[in-house]
Amino acid sequence: MQILVINAGSSSMKYQLIETDDKTVLAKGLAERIGIAGSRVKHQFTKNGASIEKVVEQDLPNHNVAFEIITQLLTDKEDAVIASPEAITAVGHRIVHGGEKFSETQVITPEVKETIRALIPLAPLHNPANLIGVEAAEKFFPNAVQVAVFDTAFHQTLPEHAFRYAIPEKFYAEEKIRVYGFHGTSHKYVYNEAKKYLKNEKLKAITIHLGNGSSMTAIDENGHSIDTSLGFGPLCGLIMGTRSGDIDPSVIFHMLEQLNMPLEKIKNVLNKESGMLGLAGSSDARDVAARYNEGDPNAALTFEMYGYRIRKYIGAYMAALNGVDALIFTAGLGENSILTRRYACKNLEGLGIELDEELNVDNNHADTPVEIQTPSGKVKILIVPTNEEWQIAKEVAELVAKA
């Protein structure tokens, strides 16, 4: 089954064409700067065993034009990976917010689209772009089944005592203000990969997704998310590339009332000027690591704070799970940052968590699941590369097969 996976943003669109029978990525690419000067589509595919990249430098005024070019690239006479748009069985769409309505993958109907549209106030930057991607796909792949895979769906198993905030009930009952969590597709994928790797069907795990946006999830022995660090929006929890993570709300009141900062400025500071960028001057952990190795005290403090926040969540989630079998590191920093994993596991021997530093170094950039704990460590420490596109394709294929 050939499935096109779409991740549409406000000015970009990532895509992968996946053959689900053998997990092959037939083509992938990125349309970027949609609606902005300097737009282009980068398209990669394999031909005669060689990886080839094509770049189309062209004005992309909207997502429909981007989709038209992507379709042309996929069906190009010389380098076609599909004979025609009809070859694609289904299109899987990453939809950021499904609210409380969607706890599993859904075939996109007019009613589903209307619900996604109604949830725009909960994800004003993402759901509108996701819908644009859906409508463009409907136009260019009219015979394909359109399917929504929601970032929030995996976390719909959170118990009420974990997803409710201690504010007046009307804010939940009427406005649906609660913990939703994000990165659910990634957390679900790496948990299941770890379960297969460890041959443990009753795995209790803490998944640690560390990218420019980061989150952690406590997953019980039934594979259910029971707590997660991102909440109503993507700002709380861990320190991130440009986001502050957890902060005392009194700081916001102080900025507003004593420093006379407008709300929009405060929001910009916490979302776009904080995190690693605010502490070390760069949102890229590779830059911060280079400064760390040069002895920069701000870089050292950044990794200490970054790791300390992760360790606090590890402790909390071990309590929530009543013990844990495995820590699972994934995503950009989780898979590729020696320093991040080192500081995230620092001084946790009392909890049975012992990082083997040699394995931590040797297995950086792992492309398959790998263990990096010491022989005496009671808790498994794994690096598991994430693959959200494959998880989306898998869920789409399973849903289509049932239909």
- Could you give the residue numbers annotated as active site? 151
**Using the 8-state DSSP alphabet, how is residue 174 labeled?**
T
Q: How far is CA 146 from the centre of its chain?
A: 21
Give dist(CA 213, CA 183) in Å, integer.
9
In DSSP terms, 32 is beta-bridged to 12, 40
Alpha carbon separation from 205 to 7, 240, 320 (Å, rounded): 27, 22, 11
Q: Quick check: 207 and 328 in contact, CB under 8 A?
A: yes
Q: 356: Cβ–Cβ under 8 A, 6 or more apart, which residues?
A: 372, 373, 374, 375, 377
Q: Strand 205-210: give its sheet, edge to edge.
A: 225-228, 214-219, 205-210, 326-330, 380-383, 370-371
In which element (H, E) is residue 363 found? none
Give the residue numbers of the binding site for substrate. Answer: 94
Q: 111: Cβ–Cβ under 8 A, 6 or more apart, which residues?
A: none
How many Cα atoms occupy the beta-carbon half-sphere of 290 within 13 Å?
A: 6
Beta strand 225-228 with 214-219 is: antiparallel
Helix, strand or coil, per DSSP, at residue 383:
strand
**Using the 8-state DSSP alphabet, how is residue 349 labeled?**
G
Give dist(CA 314, CA 324) in Å, integer.
9
Q: Residue 324, class by beta-carbon neighbours within 10 Å (0-12 exposed, 13-18 middle, 19+ buried)? A: buried
Give the residue numbers of the binding site for ATP. Answer: 14, 209-213, 284-286, 332-336
Q: Quick check: 12 and 30 in contact, CB under 8 A?
A: yes
Give the residue numbers of the binding site. Answer: 7, 14, 94, 209-213, 284-286, 332-336, 388
Which has the closest alpha carbon to 308: 267, 279, 272, 268?
Answer: 279
Give dist(CA 261, CA 2) in Å, integer.
51
